[in-house]
Structure 1
Amino acid sequence: MVPIQNLYYLLCYAWNRLPAHGEWQRVDTSTFHRPLELLTHMLLIGTRRLLQQGLPLGYAEREDELSELRGRVLLTPTIARDLLRQGRAVCAYDELGPNTPFNTLLAGTLEVLARTRHLPTSLRQEVRRVRARFPEEIEPAPFTRHQLRTVRRLRLPGPEGFLLNLCDLIYRTALPEPDTEGRTRFYDFRRDEVLMAQIFERFVRNFFRLEQRRYRVLSETISWQAQADDAADLDLLPSMITDTTLETPERKIILDTKYYTAAFKPHYDRQRLISPHLYQLYAYLQNQPAPANQQLEGVLLYPAATHTADLRYTLGGFPVRVVTIDLNQPWSGIAADLLALVA
């Protein structure tokens, strides 16, 4: 597992929302023994703030037996209950209130956390106190992937989007089935290399978007410099999408992040770079139509775990750097090292 001292900052940058003041700045990751404790603490901070400002309202569909028509009349239950002779009908209508998909998901997540044994008793008690501050009409939604996707489609703004990312990560670290007492078990998501690779990639890209102004930062699709007898055959070529591209009129850096515990792998009695990673970056550089006056270069960036490296090559006329960054150092050191990569 890659050692990480500032998981909090990694997540904030990965989700493109770094809280800048107040209680957020007092988050000390060293006091949390498990990542779930940190995620829960962050969720509580954001939820308290949302409750102070007032939970967002939205329209939710309700079904009621009414004496006055409202919205749509549901004929099947109305006839089945023989309501028409009573001057009543079952109606479906939209009502403005706090019982929105996001609020119900947030309430459902808090209820799951309040029951798990993976949190200290004091933190579970605080979760229950915050959950008790929700209005009674908010019905906690099931803690499911379907519910998360439903809320994700709403494209929530800043604070709500940040809390949704926390709920999503908490869900992704939950084991498939709860225990016999209805408590959900969780695993340490830092051991999930696929998930951490996604977080690491977004962290690096958003860090450069937020912390420097010299380069335009994007993830771009590179077209193959290829020809075919049948133009349709070109569609079969694999996509080339960069993790991070930093560009000025004079310089372009293709930065590929790789979340591996080592930038090398053993080959007989020697250590060598991981060849598919180097081939991929080289393909990006070879197929990049850069202007004549623009310097094109590539960087392979790994977290430093078992080895550190800072290797420089010229491949096919392009400067290429293979470098590791220590994520287990104070945040100021991580920020300085990243900025030095493109200085």
Structure 2
Amino acid sequence: MGYRTESRNRVKDRSIVIRNVYVMMAYAFRDIHQNGQDRFASEDFDTIHDLFAEILIRGIGSQVKRGLHRDYRRRSEELATVRGRIDLTRTSAALSMVRGRVVCEFDEYELDTLHNRILKCVMILLIRKGSVSRERQDALRRLLPYFDSVEQVAPVSIRWSQLSYSRSSASYRMLMGTCELVIRGLLPTEEPGANSLLSWVTDEAMSSLYERFLLEYFRLHHPELSPAAAKVRWDIDGEHASGTDQLPAMYTDITLRRGGRTVIIDAKYYSKTMQVSQYGKSSIHSANIYQILAYTKNADVSRNGSVSGILLYARTDAGLQPDLNVTIQGNRIAARTLDLKLPWDMLRAQLEELTTWLD
């Protein structure tokens, strides 16, 4: 059966959405202060890039005061005096000794690190191509001189997997998360070779942020529930099993446990939360239901109904939203929505309600 999906209306009140994006980022990148309260609640942001710019302005400003991240980099130069280790092979090949010089290899403690290259890259992007107010553009320009010794890199050359954090760079987590969201918003325009920053972040980037936010929320506020992105093992009857290594791995977005009960939460961030058949019938996305059911049934190794599953969609403006609560072969399965347009205290109440599934 062929499916089409419901169209999504544009969000009318973006101010609450944008402030909640900040709160989500604060949780996702472990930068919570004042018990998770939105420190930017009194600010007005016309665009998501205004929010990102403000995070960078405040974050980099604070980082400049405490000292920008530095790291040792290996250099090799021809010098008049010895520094570090002499590279005899290169000194001889370059006839440096004839000129009274030697080629030396040494480590230099400098600002030109990957973290700072990314910050410089994104500040320039927001100034040149982002939907950022003139006041915030000027604030970003005032920060750029601190990065004069930092190499400028192209956004496409950044490898996010290479980022690592030590004690000295831990405060960069949210700054790097902000930069990643900005750069993931870069998409080609219809003009060959041109690029533009989207006025909103891609669904892919928001989906990743949404998942991380939910997990970190429960880790911070409910450590007693052992929140984790846990692996679910296939409940295999081993008597006639073969080729089990060909089964795909199953990893949950969030698994919560209390006593003998478990709830598996699968986060879904889609522009369109429901599928609609060619005959006009709306339903939960088939693949989503099959996925949460597979997780739940295989995790319930005792087969006593102690494991439940929740599909938690980010709410859209569509008329019909996921609202499912059923028991399938002894296991409770639900589809719910989380309204990211609500004020934070109401949004948090929706999250807290999910913990009652373990009562």
Query: Normalising TM by the smaller chain, what interval?
Result: 0.7 to 0.9
Q: Which amino acid aligns with 2:68?
A: L
Candidates 273, 279, 282, aligned match of 1:271: 282
- 1:39 matched to 2:49: no
Aligned to 2:76: 63
Query: For the aligned residues, what is the CA RMSD?
Result: 3.1
Quick one: higher RCO (CA 8 Å, sep 6+), 1 or 2? Answer: 2
1:73-129 deviations in Å (ceiling 9; x for gaps): 456764565321122023231012333332333233323333336323222111111
The unaligned stretches of length 5 or more in structure 1 are: none
Query: Quick one: distance in 1 between partners of 2:138 and 2:27?
Result: 29
> Which runs of structure 2 are paired with 1:87-166 in the superposition (5 Å)?
87-116=100-129, 118-132=131-145, 134=146, 136=148, 138-149=149-160, 152-154=163-165, 157-166=169-178
In structure 2, the CA distance between the partners of 1:294 and 1:106, relative to structure 1 (3 Å rule), is same
SS at match of 2:187: coil
Aligned-pair distance for 1:46? 0.5
Q: Say if 1:215 and 1:246, in contact at 8 Å, map to a contact too.
A: yes
Aligned to 1:206: 216
Candidates 155, 177, 187, aligned match of 1:175: 187
Q: Say if 1:297 and 1:318, in contact at 8 Å, map to a contact too.
A: yes
SS at match of 2:342: coil
> Which runs of structure 2 are paired with 1:220-231 in the superposition (5 Å)?
220-227=230-237
Candidates 316, 319, 323, aligned match of 2:329: 316
Q: TM-score, normalised by structure 1?
A: 0.86
In structure 2, the CA distance between the partners of 1:61 and 1:112, relative to structure 1 (3 Å rule), is farther
Query: Quick one: distance in 2 between partners of 1:24 and 1:107?
Result: 26
In structure 2, the CA distance between the partners of 1:262 and 1:26, relative to structure 1 (3 Å rule), is closer
Query: Quick one: distance in 2 between partners of 1:201 and 1:101?
Result: 26
SS at match of 2:186: coil
Q: Say if 1:221 and 1:241, in contact at 8 Å, map to a contact too.
A: yes
Aligned to 1:303: 314
Q: Say if 2:322 and 2:335, in contact at 8 Å, map to a contact too.
A: yes
In structure 2, the CA distance between the partners of 1:161 and 1:104, relative to structure 1 (3 Å rule), is same
Aligned to 1:187: 198
Q: Say if 2:111 and 2:150, in contact at 8 Å, map to a contact too.
A: no
The unaligned stretches of length 5 or more in structure 2 are: 1-7, 12-16
Instruction: Give the paired residue count.
Output: 337
1:209-244 deviations in Å (ceiling 9; x for gaps): 112244110011111122578866111111111111
SS at match of 2:294: helix
Q: Say if 2:114 and 2:163, in contact at 8 Å, map to a contact too.
A: no
Query: Quick one: distance in 2 between partners of 1:185 and 1:288?
Result: 45
Q: Say if 1:143 and 1:171, in contact at 8 Å, map to a contact too.
A: no
Q: Say if 2:85 and 2:104, in contact at 8 Å, map to a contact too.
A: yes
Identity of aligned residues (%): 26
SS at match of 2:39: helix
In structure 2, the CA distance between the partners of 1:24 and 1:97, relative to structure 1 (3 Å rule), is farther
